[in-house]
Amino acid sequence: MPVQRQNANDQSSTNSFLQQIFESRTKNEIDENDLLILLNDTELSRSFDRHSKFTIDHCKLLIAAVVHSKSTLNLPEFVSVINLLYTWRNFFRRHDLDRNGIIEPYALVNILNSLRFNLSPSTLETIVKRYSTRADDNSSGKISFEHYVQLCARLTLLNDLMQQKSTNDSPRNVCSFSIDEFMQLALSL
């Protein structure tokens, strides 16, 4: 996935800010509860959409998207999580023109394509149905920032795990899972 380009000074000040936040904690690692507090109740929360609140499920997904085999983050992993969130936030904001924390389905499709998630039209249709909310049966669905973050974290995790499972000698876009591996993957989402 492409990383948002920043100049060296912006990146350095961002990393310094994140290091200060990390070091202000009494622990050497951040778990989902710590991440929840940091994202909702600290200066870091001002970086994200004012209409949204992160949940414990968001935090678990964000951690899993960066570190697949453990449930805590060290400083570099924490920085990676926040940088992913910043990237996703920036794409979302480009399409949330009225700044209400909601985007149209076509905007979601454009964002996912920009993030280089190569998804089929039928998969995109399934995603829009799953992650959109409708005021009534006559309105088209809209996607909130919270649902968007969940989706991006899940797609990142799935994409990474699928790439790990595919082999050089398998046909393109094909990977093999045992039933147990598939169940573990599905349950981790």
CATH number at residue 72: 1.10.238.10
Burial class (CB within 10 angstroms; exposed 0-12, middle 13-18, buried 19+) of 174: exposed
Higher pLDDT, 45 or 32: 32
Domains identified in the chain, total number: 1
- Mean pLDDT value of segment 133-152: 78
| H-run or E-run covering 141 | none
pTM check: above 0.85: no
Q: Which residue range forms the structural domain that includes residue 102?
A: 2-188
Tokens describing residue 48: 């994200």
Most confidently modeled range among 107-111, 159-163, 169-173, 181-185: 107-111
pLDDT over threshold 90, residue 47: no
Q: Confirm if 89 and 111 have CB atoms less than 8 A apart.
A: no
**pLDDT by residue (tens digit) across 62-101?**
999 999 778 899 999 999 999 999 999 999 999 998 888 8
pLDDT over threshold 80, residue 182: no
